[in-house]
Structure 1
């Protein structure tokens, strides 16, 4: 299993694998449109959840057949991926029949193709607290053959602190996008924990950012439709049809909880983490909750 896994390398100061850099020029030259919506996250921070939510928000009434027959990773292509078993994310995005096109990326903000900024496309960024994000990423790396093999939890824990993760350091990622949001009104910055706490409230904020006005009844249906347990059972949302995921190891959608880190961190790790966090989180305005 480990032989076919990719290795990480430094790419413009960010740890990456060839599955996300082999198509670099084509991806950088991607032609965004003004009505595109780019969903950006650090891996395992609620990407699929928000992709699914946006897809329902825009197309639940007009393209129901797509929801029942096209997996979410084809409805919302992963822009930078290129893998022999899959169509390239860029080609999928180019061919999307929907308007707006919903596209996802895990790029740190400096890697986003410049046409998204030039076209004033809207960008939705989702951030998740580092402790839960780390745990989720660990289980994901165990079952996803596109990712380097994670090794044991203790080493992984240290790697996360060192920023030796595909798509780079969690700190750089969430802070880079937060910084950009201060000068760019086209970025809507969301927190995973807020979505869990009050999905309806977060849908309201999202609608107001996107200029959508669904009815109260519509919003209620949405909020219940995107609850974790419903998505986990939906084969078009849970990635069970994706050839690079090994569900024998772990499901793609595992728990979707806030605070699962408590089942993984030792007391010593938690102390080490908190110390490290204080040093690395420079911006006091960017605040995360590790429990709700």
Structure 2
């Protein structure tokens, strides 16, 4: 199924036709979840692959065999992709399912079950940069043009999968509607992977021994995942993803947006962020602890002066 140039529009949101059809999207929105399901939900480029690996390794008590022999799209298929029903037919319990769908499309189906829902979100500036470079590689996504043009579409919410702001607001405001809901930021996972893993284990009710924790942290580290063909998408043919344009696992850092955004572009996103997220009730810590300390020192010095 190529359809590299096709676009599916579903409930006013555009999706790449390469993996999505009207039938597959309808299937996802009316899906019958099992209480034992584990559902990973993200906006694109927000830590999806990382969480898929963490969950896979936790369920296998740190044993990397499955993670190094089976592609992540077969271990944790995207619910809205056309191939998902076939994968789930043979999936063992608990099934791990991934989705990029916004809450208004998927929440009605989820509310009918006790499935465990994991939501990961990330600094929108880092998301925009990562998504931009992925557009340069993925032949099933539109040519992004200049970053400034892409940023306009990102802020308008007219990129594939819709608005980041609607996605994050929708899912994080739906906590009370889902019986088993866990949310975490990419930045938390990056700054303190051990504590993040321990929180995840507690949510999944899958405690690990110390050696299992060590193995899990090793095999879901960025460096390991970058070399793991089951994760880094090098198995995807060149005519679908142009690997000469970059790597799917690009940098994996936080705050790398500063190497792409201009001051004007950063201010533009800040303005939209403030307007869109003012009622979210979330605490956003985007920078590393060292960067926060540098900012605090600078503010203190300015105040003293």
Indicate yes or no: 2:121 matched with 1:127: yes
Query: Partner residue of 1:85?
Result: none
| Residues 102 and 167 in structure 2, CA contact (< 8 A), matched pair in contact too | yes
Indicate yes or no: 2:60 matched with 1:59: yes
Cα distance in 2 for partners of 1:174, 1:92 equals 28
Query: Partner residue of 1:49?
Result: 50
| Residues 74 and 92 in structure 1, CA contact (< 8 A), matched pair in contact too | yes
Could you say what secondary structure the match of 1:290 adopts? coil
Cα distance in 2 for partners of 1:101, 1:37 equals 6
Q: CA deviation at 1:118?
A: 1.5
Query: Partner residue of 2:247?
Result: 251
| Count of aligned positions | 282
Unaligned residue ranges in structure 1 (runs of 5+): 83-87
Q: CA deviation at 1:67?
A: 2.9
Cα distance in 2 for partners of 1:4, 1:248 equals 18
| Among 175, 184, 198, the residue aligned to 1:190 | 184
Could you say what secondary structure the match of 2:174 adopts? helix
Cα distance in 1 for partners of 2:176, 2:128 equals 26
Query: Partner residue of 2:78?
Result: 78
Cα distance in 1 for partners of 2:25, 2:244 equals 32
Q: CA deviation at 1:113?
A: 6.7
Structure number with greater Rg is 2
Unaligned residue ranges in structure 2 (runs of 5+): 289-305
Query: Partner residue of 1:291?
Result: 287
Query: Partner residue of 2:29?
Result: 28
Trace 1:273-288 onto structure 2 (pairs within 5 A): 273-288=269-284
Query: Partner residue of 1:117?
Result: 111
Q: CA RMSD in A?
A: 2.0
Question: Per-residue CA shift, 1:241-273, capped at 9, x if unaligned?
Answer: 023322111111100110110000011111122
Could you say what secondary structure the match of 1:274 adopts? helix
Query: Partner residue of 1:231?
Result: 225
| Residues 62 and 216 in structure 2, CA contact (< 8 A), matched pair in contact too | no
Could you say what secondary structure the match of 1:175 adopts? helix
Cα distance in 2 for partners of 1:157, 1:26 equals 31
Cα distance in 1 for partners of 2:115, 2:32 equals 11
Query: Partner residue of 1:179?
Result: 173
